[in-house]
Structure 1
Amino acid sequence: MPMLKEPWKKYKAFPPLNLPDRQWPSKTLDKAPRWLSTDLRDGNQSLSGDEKWRYFKMLADIGYKEIEVSFPSASQTDFDFTRRLVETPGTVPDDVWLQVLSPCREDLIRRTVESMKGAKKAIIHIYLATSECFRKVVFNFSQEETLELATRCAKLVRSLTKDDPSTAGTEWAFEFSPETFSDTEPNFVLQVCEAVKAAWEPSVENPIIFNLPATVELATPNVYADQIEYFCRNISEREKICVSLHPHNDRGTAVGAAELAQMAGADRVEGCLFGNGERTGNVDLVTLGLNLYTQGIHPNIDFSDLGSIIDMVETCNKIPVHQRAPYGGSLVVCAFSGSHQDAIKKGFELRERENKAFDDEWQMPYLPLDPADIGRTYEAVIRVNSQSGKGGAAWIILRGLSLDLPRGLQVAFSKVVQKRADELGRELLPSEITELFEQTYFLSNNPRFSIVDYNISTDRSRSPAPAAPGKTPVTKDFMRVFSGVISVDGREFKLEGRGNGPISSLANALRGVGVNLDVQDYKEHAIGRGRDVKAATYIECTAAGSNMKVWGVGIHEDVVQSSLIALLSAASNVSFYILLLFYFVETLC
């Protein structure tokens, strides 16, 4: 066997910046940054012209005001797409800036500016890698040569845009990226940016954009924040500069890096929806935006119909949004765990009891964001499989049937759900759980036991105590008598029984057909309000001579009849629960 190598020894730790008086750790985010979507250029470079067209319209509709649309010098397709945007009336909203990208090459810069002639608002973005690695490996440049090229290209952009009278109909802005910023000597970045700024001559009204990319994420987010704060504190004429971020996600911490770097002074963030882009992707603009939302800050982007945004992204990019992606993933507002389901159910119940409005403060276990705010339904919150607990099915029954199940019934029905999920080998749909509950407790039809006719009367076999003069004798403590006709498996039986109330009198009457039940628990609540209110009754029973507990459910406009139906539901379930017990014993064995 060959000797094991030690590959980690060929890497060295990224050197942190010496910034002992850093201020960003005590800052908080209190507003949305300027956003630039780079989906059409950096999110997926294989989009067709028609896909870009639909995607651009979606980005503008949800609120992005700066959109990098192409790399016009890279292909005729990108150039033609840019011209189509510029030349088609009504396509680009008046307040939306089109941004195009070019490397620091004079011929490519000219082609890039040409693509934007006639645009209302145009940002010309040029970039030059400034790190020692790129200077040495890619360009074979010295620092002086890098500085000279950046300055010369900035002057060229100026001469072709704001200094050219023929382009006066366009509002021009300029962006420069010292690509590989995070791997470049901090003071050299300042030197290059100062030279570029002097060449462009920005103003407070039209600042220059210095985009500071973590082209490859090389260090922890706090190091990037230090680099941004150092730049913001040491660049001159800070009021004439928009500091922009472009974090990549090689270490999986682009979102954290972008948030800390904003605290460190950045004004703008470039990224892609759901983090698409080169390698591990650009920073995820959806996560950044909705992170602000959950802190009470509007991101100025409309994510209220996140599903349609996902559809557009997946259709155009041919890249699925991962089911666990923050906010957008299909499972991120779903709970399978029993304890999670129970906590969420209680949270929604409390909101309903407190009559919380849609826009009241949101406080919900396990759900930092109201699913309704991103176009998700509450029905999708809880998903039930054979491993789920009692709360999940109970929540679905509450939402679907308005039945607030007692805890004991939740436990009992969860076993029924688990058995069905095991039989099917998958999770159950809410409609399937609702139907299963209706079948288990015979809400629509009880084929075994049903009331044909009945009467509840007072047992007057003994005389009431003499009443006071002018008063009616009191009989409230007398026994009650059930007399009526009960259908048992399709056959009608006349039954009679005595008890201290309607439920116990029917229970005693059922002994005439061989059903001997003792009532252990009783709960009821109203369904609906006003004249159409119904009573929901839950009765727990044990079969005489057994510890087997069964539940019955009854719903009726009449409270008494609701309770009688519930008892017959429990009677029908005695044999079913014996079978269910055998199933769980076999499963455990």
Structure 2
Amino acid sequence: MPSHRYRDVHSRVDVPLASREWPNRMLEHAPLWVPVDLRDGNQALAEPMDPVRKRRFFDLMIAMGYKEIEVGYPSASRTDYDFVRLLADTDIAPEDVTLVVFTPARRELIERTVESIRGVRNPVVIHMYTATAPVWRDLVLGVDRTGLRELILAGGRDVLEFAGDMPNVRFEFSPEVFNLTEPDFALEMCDAMTSLWDASADRPVILNLPATVEVASPNVYADQIEYMHRNLARRDAVILSVHPHNDRGTGVACAELAVLAGAERVEGCLFGNGERTGNVDLVTLGLNLHAQGVDPMIDFSDIDEIRRTVEHCNSIDVHPRHPYVGDLVHTAFSGTHQDAIKKGFAEHRSRAAAESRAASDIAWRIPYLPIDPADIGRSYDAVIRVNSQSGKGGVAFLLESEYGIVLPRRLQIDLAREVQVRTEASGGEVTPAEVRDIFERAYLEDLPVRSIELVDVETTAHTTSVKLRAEGQLRTSTHSGIGPVEALTAALADFGLLIDVRVLHQTSVASGTDSEAITLIEYRSEKSTGWAGGRHRSVLAASLAAVMRAANRAHAELDADTRAVQGDRHEASLSG
């Protein structure tokens, strides 16, 4: 790799910050959020949004609670201009929502932009930008620092000329590619704009400092923001804003550290759409705060509907591993993860019961799940999914969460082996319904031929009478001083079948017939140890059915051994 062709950002931008305060700060409240999907995100789409999609996206952001929205680049296209006019001529935008319009520092484009907002009843921000970094000055604009200063101030004067008397309009300036601009020059231009626009506490100016192309680690961006935060003139009349991109994959970290460093406002896109690798993701930023106990001030309670709308408007699918919203982000396939999650849910329910509170009110501490999926409208259906890497915890969780079937630990292990046979054969995952089917086939399904049949059980205060039929014989036995299950195993012993019930576990089925009981037993026979189950509306009938299923399996094993011995003797006689 020709790494020698590139230089570390420190060699290009030396931030004069001898000490820094941001590493000792904590995120304690949400910044001002400004989604730029309708402008910055839209211009990065292969097929920009038509008016219908723009309107749907705008309505979504209003419903989520965003109070400042960049609505377009009116001088760039007729579609954007018409959309801003739609907002001006109707009451689509609630009165407390600030609309932001974007323009370069060019007189005719500024004039066109001001025309688009004339008559808007909402608060409006005119956002003027110019690239300030050396490479852009040299290669794109062809001016030096002095020439660029005059270009920017001329644009600022044009903004005042066309919109300075509009009482509902404020101003924003972005030194584009701020993060690659010399700190002293960025500070000089920002102070010049706040002076020109006469920034005051009553009419503050927004200074937006974009990491237009992310080229450094997040701590460098934080240093740059803190330098500006400390040194800006009229600081109490400035709203300090950031606009990180994601070229290095650390846009979210850049935004979070920038807020620690003094930024009060963050521009970005829902799910991180934008040029190249995109703008910073406002959904991830907001839910990161939520996961730390800080109210993001935005409603993410129906994340799937938010995703569907954004995917439709952008014509871009959200990745299944995207933080918080992806289809798989709350899903565990690994056996160790599944076991930990299952135990976490069990402990969560226990704490809720102990405190006599709803589970949704109890502090969240489930392994591997940073937030409760229910907070964002997700069910627990997909929290655990089973494939060949899964273990007993995942299999047990699916049965319990979907059907209310609670398995004892050793049966979890046994069933996991059965499921793994299926998944390794198919190479894919299994659904909850398929896990239940495997469970029923393994433990509740009768053998094709039942060698022994339970005809009747009668109980009185002190005795139990058991009637069995085997190989045409009907035999009744009476047993005193023991329960029906023990009486049945004693009656089976009279037929030469020793069934020792080591564990008897009772559960129920939560779907279908709500009153249906399942009894699961771990048994030891003459040949092996295994599990068998019985299902019935009566708990006793389910328990007796489980014992009989075990007895028939044990009898089938004995028959198989007998046939094997007879076969060996037959072969021996032929060879003799």
* TM-score category, normalised to shorter length: 0.7 to 0.9
In structure 2, C-alpha distance between the alignment counterparts of 1:37 and 1:215, rounded to whole Å = 16
Equivalent residue number for residue 190 of structure 1: 187
1:549 equivalent in structure 2? 529
Is the counterpart of residue 115 in structure 1 residue 116 in structure 2? yes
> Residues 157-199 of structure 1, C-alpha deviation per residue, up to 9 Å, x if partnerless?
1221132xxx45xx11211000010000111111101111111
Q: Name the CA distance, whole Å, in 2 between partners of 1:526 and 1:428.
A: 22
Structure 2 residue 499 is matched with structure 1 residue 517? yes
Q: State the shift of 1:39 in Å.
A: 0.7
SS at match of 2:9: coil
Q: Is the 8 A contact 2:194 2:234 kept in 1?
A: no
Find the partner of 1:440 among 442, 450, 460.
Answer: 442
The 5 A counterparts of 1:115-134 are 115-119=116-120, 120-134=122-136
Gap change, CA 1:136 and 1:495, over 3 Å in 2: farther
Structure 2 counterpart of 1:566: 546
Check 1:454–1:173 CA distance in 2 against 1; reply closer, same or farther (3 A cut). same
Q: Shift in Å at residue 558 of structure 1?
A: 4.8
Letter in 2 for 1:116: I
Count of aligned positions = 540
The amino acid across from 1:9 in the alignment is: H
Displacement of 1:399 after TM fit? 1.7
Shift of 1:504: 3.2
Seen in structure 2, the aligned counterparts of structure 1 residues 552 and 193 have a Cα distance that, compared at 3 Å, is: same
| Corresponding residue for residue 224 of structure 2 | 227
CA contact (8 A) 2:404 2:508 kept: no
1:42 aligns with 2:32: no
**Distance in 1, Cα, partners of 2:83 & 2:226:** 37
Q: 1:17 aligns with which of 15, 18, 26?
A: 15
Indicate the residue corresponding to 2:160 in structure 1: 158
The correspondence for 1:331, drawn from 321, 328, 333, is 328
Q: Give deviations 1:83-138, integer Å, cap 9, x for gaps.
A: 122212x3111111111111111111111111111112211101001111111111
Residue pair 1:386, 1:418 contacting (<8 A) in 2 also: yes
Q: What corresponds to 1:453 in structure 2?
A: 456
Residue 451 and residue 63 in structure 1: after superposition, are their counterparts in 2 closer, same or farther (change >3 A)?
farther
TM-score, normalised with respect to structure 2: 0.88
What does residue 101 of structure 1 align with?
A: 102
How much does 1:562 deviate?
3.5
Q: Which runs of 5+ in 1 are unaligned?
A: 1-5, 459-474, 579-589
SS in 2 for 1:44: helix
Which whole-Å CA distance do the structure 2 matches of 1:567 and 1:373 have between them? Answer: 44
Match of 2:55 among 47, 53, 56: 53
* Contact kept? 2:447, 2:552, Cα under 8 Å: no
Amino acid at match of 1:44: N
Partner of 1:369: 371
Displacement of 1:503 in angstroms is: 2.4
Match of 2:562 in 1: none
2: CA distance, partners of 1:397 / 1:312: 33
Equivalent position SS for 2:114: helix
8 Å contact 1:507–1:518 — kept in the other structure?
Answer: yes
Matches within 5 A, 1:317-466: 317-354=314-351, 355=353, 357=358, 358-442=360-444, 448=450, 451-456=454-459
Q: Evaluate the alpha carbon distance shift between residue 436 and residue 513 of structure 1 in structure 2; reply closer, same or farther with a 3 A threshold.
A: farther
Letter in 1 for 2:431: L
Deviation at 1:211, TM superposition (A): 0.4
Q: Is the 8 A contact 2:222 2:254 kept in 1?
A: yes
Q: Secondary structure at the match of 1:100?
A: strand
- TM-score, scaled relative to structure 1: 0.86
2:277 maps to a residue whose letter is T
1:502 aligns with 2:490: no
Which residue number corresponds to residue 567 of structure 2? none
Question: Offset of 1:518 from its aligned partner?
Answer: 2.6
- The offset of 1:452, in angstroms, is 4.5
Taking every aligned residue pair, what percent have the same amino acid on both sides?
A: 46
Q: How far apart are the structure 2 equivalents of 1:57 and 1:575?
A: 69
Question: In 1, Cα distance between the equivalents of 2:403 and 2:552?
Answer: 21
Question: Which whole-Å CA distance do the structure 2 matches of 1:446 and 1:306 have between them?
Answer: 49
What residue identity is the alignment partner of 2:442? T
Picking from 455, 478, 483, the partner of 2:466 is: 483
Q: Which stretch of the first structure deviates more once superposed, 307-316 or 15-24? A: 15-24
Distance (Å, rounded) in 2 between the aligned partners of 1:252 and 1:575 = 63
d(CA) in 2 for partners of 1:447 and 1:205? 88
Whole-angstrom distance in 2 between the partners of 1:453 and 1:175: 87
Counterpart residue identity of residue 60, structure 1: I
Structure 1 residues 13, 290: CA separation in 2 closer, same or farther (over 3 Å shift)?
same
Aligned pair partner of 1:8 in 3, 17, 21: 3
